[in-house]
Structure formats: structure tokens, C-alpha cells
Structure 1
Amino acid sequence: MLYFQLVIMAGTVMLAYYFEYTDTFNVHVQGFFCYDNAYTKPYHGPEASSAVPPVILYAVVCGLPLLLITAIESVLFLLQYVSEDLDNREKIIVMGDCCYLNPLVRRTFRFLGVYAFGLFSTDIFVNAGQVVTGNLSPHFLTVCKPNYTALGCIQTARFINEKGVCTGNEDDIMRARKSFPSKEAALSVYAALYTAMYITLTVKAKGTKLAKPVLSLGLICLAFLTGINRVVEYRNHWCDVIAGFIIGGAIAVFMVLGVVQNFKGKTLLNEIPPEERVVGSVPMMGQPRIMDNTMEKYIASQFIEIASRAVRDTVAPWDPKA
């Protein structure tokens, strides 16, 4: 099952790579009217000159959830390990005869793995929408620089749907044809909502009733400001940003509710199918072993009681009448 999940993850990453860095999928060439005011906004330079450049955005989207989830899981694991409530501790899973998975590592890898899968899925959904629609950005005509005289737009505002009518930079023109939905808005709201839901559902410590909402709403506010910045700099329309928010938010909610199930990471014995339960000192090859401290104590006490009875019977005095 683990190998199958790795294959799915690798396929998702490869598909996101082909969308992002190759010309495998051709962008739909959408037409426009001459002198259309919706596409004549000023161009504020490449994405690197934006107030929220891609380098900072991707670093925050990838790094902030990684640090928060790892730190919180480490603290929760240490608090649970030193507590006396043994029955509520995470069960330890041993795969086969060699592999040991610590509960901290297992939970952290699960939550971060699901987050990474959702992040790449969001990128795929957004890129697919941009390729299919080919929606023009507000500054499209500014970077396109069409020859209106040659196109016959002097007297009538005719509709232009031909290829090769732009005379500007090809890279800028291609980026200006991929406006709907906004990738920056989708990725930022996905990261913010997933992290906010993780903090809200996982942290149960006393005194955090106000800290959790403040931190969660702060993350969502940063995502909201990222979308507003896209509109202010005329890189996306309002509808592009709203669509990005909807896509990123929907995928984050699905990952939390449907995949990680509100970040419930405990593996209880009664949740495992009977055919997969192995309780003993030596697990069968290829089957997981569930080690429960309470059950082990009970088995050890029964073994000690049987051994003590055998010793008493052995050293008992000889009865000649027997």
C-alpha cells in the first residue's frame, strides 16, 4: 500500500512539472477586442518585481507549514510520552522484522505528505484551468503591443482572434494568457487554510482559546492580502483571485476532512481488520505488529502467575498417602 501511494505521489509531481516547466499542454489562444479597456492596464514588470515575488511565496507556502506541523507534533509527542495516561498513547507499529516507526515520525510524515499531495494537486488544477481557458490578464494588451493599423482597428473596434498578432516579448505574452484562476491565490489560501485547520483541531492545550484563532486568522489574512496584491498590480482580475481562493480552499478542506480525518492519527486495535491483527512476540513477515503496553502487561502478569504455580507444584513436599 505504501508503494502504491508513492507511485501516486510521483505521478502527481511529474504532472505538475509538465504543466509548469514544459510546453506539453498548449495554452488556448483567446481573442480580444481592439482597445479593450479590461486588458490595457499598466504592466508592473516581471513576477520577480512584485510585492509578493514567487520566491517568497513558494518559500512560505512550503516552509511555514513544514516548520509549524513538525514543531507542534514534536511538542505533543513529548507531552504525551511523559504523561501517565498510557492507554491514550500512540500505538507503535513495527513493519516486518526490521522497520520501526516512531509515532512522532509516522504522524508527522502523514500530515506533511497529505499537505504536499494537496499542494501539487492545487497547482495541477490551477494550471489546467489556465491552459484550457487562456484568460487574458489585465495588462495583456500592454505586453502584447498589437499593430492596430495592420489589424484594421483604426475605424472599428473589431474582434481579433488570429495568432501572431502580438509584437511584444513572447514570455510575457504567454504569462499574460494564463490569468484564470490565480495560482498565487490558490496556493496561498490552501497553505493558510490547511495550517489553520491543523492548529485548530490538533492543539488542545489550556490557554490557547485566543492564541489559536489569532494565529489561524493571521495566516488566512496573509493569503487574502496575497490575492489583493494580484489585483492591485493588475496581474489578475477579481474573478481570477476568487476562483483561486475557491480551488485552494476546497482542496484544503477535502484533505483535512476526507483524507486525514480531522488530523486523527491514533491507530487503535479495534480499527484494524482481524486478518491484519498480529499480537505476539514474533510478527509474521509482511504484517504489521501492534504493540499495546496495557496488553503486554496483562500477558506478562499471566505468564508470571503460571510460572509461579509450576514452581510451587515442583517443590511441594512428597505426600506418602498420595
Structure 2
Amino acid sequence: MFEARGVPFILLDVACLIIGGLPLAAFNLGKIRPYQRGFFCNDESLQYPFHHSTITSTVLYTVGFALPISCMIFGECLSVYLKQIKIQVVFRQLHFQRLQSHRHVPVRDAAMSQSLTDIAKYSIGRLRPHFLDVCRPDWKLINCSSGAYIENFTCTGDLQMANEGRLSFYSGHSSFSMYCMLFLALYLQARLQVEWARLLRPTIQFFLIAASVFTGLSRVSDYKHHWSDVLTGLLQGALMAVLVVFCVSDFFKPRVVAHKDVDILHTTLEEPNRNHFESPN
């Protein structure tokens, strides 16, 4: 009964994940060109050299998905064994359903968060600090003597890297890392309420947020983004995490079991006692 009732919710989560990630997939798989913004010849903010990322996308997404999901699964299972939730068969099944729902929340809404990021990136087309290094415009065809705004120019460098160089605003690394780390920090705030974790909880939360801030700062030092791109990304990720935790998840809501589940629980618990005290006919 419980497993069958949980399947539609899981399928709905998967459908929402696909819908929320459609803009993200469209921009990255559809080879859509970002807005073709120009530049000023004397703009020093675009003349930095190209550097490889300190925090690669592989590391970012692996840690960003694996850490919150694994911590939530471990935390929900641990809460059962610590008897924060009664260890009854029915409660275990109900708790498994709640775990299934929580597990899909960070994945689904992370996809939505990144979709918002890509919409901004491709719509604004702000040039990265290393744009001129990867674009390598043909300066012979550009008149920089008057300091005019240059819109018509041809990149002689790698076309894919040149298009990637137009996706500076705002930082996807910053928004994604802040969303995942703040989401996990708020989850710990709601679930890790035992006395012995009074100092451990804020310590873990500090390092989670610090890791996100470091990721954002590395994007500036790697000349991938301007500081305003990183700040906007951190704010957007934080806002998305707060909205998801307080408006979508039930982390800070009282744990209430539905009436039907309570009836089933009472029947399950009372059945052995009734059989034990009833005298045979």
C-alpha cells in the first residue's frame, strides 16, 4: 500500500525535474548562441588571460549533488535508529516515503536554479574577463583610436570558447554551490537538534557556506567572472535554497502523520495486544 502510494509522487518529481531542466538542456544541447555583446578597446576588465578552473564543473556537480543527497539519506535513517521517530513497521514505511520525497527536492530545484542562471547568461551575454584572450579579434579590422564601442568584430580564436566567453553574468558555479550548501546547512539546522551537536552543527554549517564562498571567489581569481557576477550568483543560490526549504520541503514543519496512517498504525500496534488478552472461545 505504501509503496504503491509513493510511486505517483516519485513519477511526479521526475516529471518536474525534466520540466525544470528544459531551459538548461535547451541552452546547452541546442547550441544556442548567447547575446552578441560588444566591448570597448580600453576596457581592462576584459584583458585577463585564460586560466583553467580551480573548481572544475565535474567536481562542482559531483560534490553538489552527492553531498546533500547522501547526508539527507544518512540523516533520515539515523533519526530512525536514534528513536527520534518511533521504530514501528508503519513508521518505517512512512519515513521511507518522506525520504523519497526529500531526496528529489535538491535535484529538481537545483535544475530549476541552473535554468534561471542559463536564462540570464544567454539573454545578457556579458563578456568574461578573459574574453579577448579566447576570442582573439582581428585587430586589423578594428578602429580603436576613438575609443568607440566595438560591435562588429570577428573572433579568430576557437568559436566554442569565444561563445563560452560571453556567459559571464551571472556565475553558475556560485549559484549552484550556494544553493546546495545552504540547502544542506538548513537541513542540518532542522534535523540535527540533539544536545551533543550544539557546537558541531554551526561548525559544519560554517564550512559548508565557506566552501560555497570559496568556489565563488575562485571564479574571480581564475578570471572566469567579474565580482558582480559571483555576488549575484551567490545571492540567487541562497534565495533559491531558502524558498525551497521553507516553501517546498517540510524540514521545519511538525511531523504529522495522516489520519489513515494513524489508523493503520493503531491497528498494527493494538493487534498483538488484543490477541494476547482475548481468551479463546
Common topology (TM > 0.5): yes
For the structure 1 residues 18 and 55, does the alpha-carbon distance in structure 2 shift closer, same or farther, using more than 3 Å as the test? Answer: same
Whether 1:16 aligns to 2:5 is no
For the structure 1 residues 37 and 125, does the alpha-carbon distance in structure 2 shift closer, same or farther, using more than 3 Å as the test? Answer: same
**Structure (1 or 2) with the larger CA radius of gyration:** 1
How far does residue 304 in structure 1 lie from its aligned partner after superposition? 8.8
Match of 1:29 among 31, 36, 53: 36
Q: Which amino acid aligns with 1:16?
A: L
CA contact (8 A) 1:91 1:290 kept: no
Q: Which residue is 1:160 aligned to?
A: 150
CA contact (8 A) 1:28 1:131 kept: yes
For the structure 1 residues 76 and 297, does the alpha-carbon distance in structure 2 shift closer, same or farther, using more than 3 Å as the test? Answer: closer
What are the Cα deviations for residues 190-243 of structure 1, in whole angstroms up to 9, with x where unaligned?
110000000111112221000000001101000000111111111100110011
**3-state SS of paired residue (2:198):** coil
Q: Which amino acid aligns with 1:209?
A: R
Q: Which residue is 1:54 aligned to?
A: 57
Instruction: Tell me how far apart the structure 2 counterparts of residues 242 and 6 of structure 1 sit (CA, whole Å).
Output: 31
Instruction: Tell me how far apart the structure 2 counterparts of residues 193 and 130 of structure 1 sit (CA, whole Å).
Output: 23
Instruction: Tell me how far apart the structure 1 counterparts of residues 209 and 104 of structure 2 sit (CA, whole Å).
Output: 21
Whether 1:121 aligns to 2:124 is no
For the structure 1 residues 148 and 35, does the alpha-carbon distance in structure 2 shift closer, same or farther, using more than 3 Å as the test? Answer: farther
Whether 1:141 aligns to 2:132 is yes
Q: Which residue is 1:96 aligned to?
A: none
Match of 1:38 among 45, 55, 59: 45
Whether 1:269 aligns to 2:258 is yes
RMSD (Å), alpha carbons: 2.6
Match of 2:190 among 198, 201, 209: 201
For the structure 1 residues 40 and 120, does the alpha-carbon distance in structure 2 shift closer, same or farther, using more than 3 Å as the test? Answer: same
Instruction: Tell me how far apart the structure 2 counterparts of residues 157 and 5 of structure 1 sit (CA, whole Å).
Output: 53
Q: TM-score, normalised by structure 1?
A: 0.76
Moved beyond 6 Å, runs of 4+: 299-305
For the structure 1 residues 240 and 90, does the alpha-carbon distance in structure 2 shift closer, same or farther, using more than 3 Å as the test? Answer: farther
Whether 1:185 aligns to 2:204 is no
CA contact (8 A) 1:90 1:266 kept: no
How far does residue 90 in structure 1 lie from its aligned partner after superposition? 9.1
CA contact (8 A) 2:117 2:170 kept: yes
Instruction: Tell me how far apart the structure 2 counterparts of residues 217 and 181 of structure 1 sit (CA, whole Å).
Output: 24
Contiguous gaps of at least 5 residues in structure 1: 93-100, 271-276, 278-288, 312-322
Match of 1:132 among 98, 101, 123: 123
Q: Which amino acid aligns with 1:269?
A: A
Identity of aligned residues (%): 23
Instruction: Tell me how far apart the structure 2 counterparts of residues 172 and 265 of structure 1 sit (CA, whole Å).
Output: 50
How far does residue 147 in structure 1 lie from its aligned partner after superposition? 2.2
CA contact (8 A) 1:122 1:186 kept: yes
How far does residue 299 in structure 1 lie from its aligned partner after superposition? 7.4
How far does residue 167 in structure 1 lie from its aligned partner after superposition? 1.3
How far does residue 107 in structure 1 lie from its aligned partner after superposition? 2.3
For the structure 1 residues 128 and 74, does the alpha-carbon distance in structure 2 shift closer, same or farther, using more than 3 Å as the test? Answer: same
How far does residue 91 in structure 1 lie from its aligned partner after superposition? 5.2
Q: Which residue is 1:246 aligned to?
A: 235
| Higher helix residue share | 2
Instruction: Tell me how far apart the structure 2 counterparts of residues 173 and 265 of structure 1 sit (CA, whole Å).
Output: 51
Instruction: Tell me how far apart the structure 2 counterparts of residues 175 and 140 of structure 1 sit (CA, whole Å).
Output: 9
Q: Which amino acid aligns with 2:139?
A: Y
Match of 1:293 among 265, 269, 272: 265
Q: Which residue is 2:218 aligned to?
A: 229
Q: Which residue is 2:79 aligned to?
A: 76
For the structure 1 residues 292 and 142, does the alpha-carbon distance in structure 2 shift closer, same or farther, using more than 3 Å as the test? Answer: same
Instruction: Tell me how far apart the structure 2 counterparts of residues 12 and 231 of structure 1 sit (CA, whole Å).
Output: 28
How far does residue 296 in structure 1 lie from its aligned partner after superposition? 4.7
CA contact (8 A) 2:69 2:106 kept: no
How far does residue 268 in structure 1 lie from its aligned partner after superposition? 2.0
Q: Which residue is 1:172 aligned to?
A: 161
How far does residue 68 in structure 1 lie from its aligned partner after superposition? 1.1
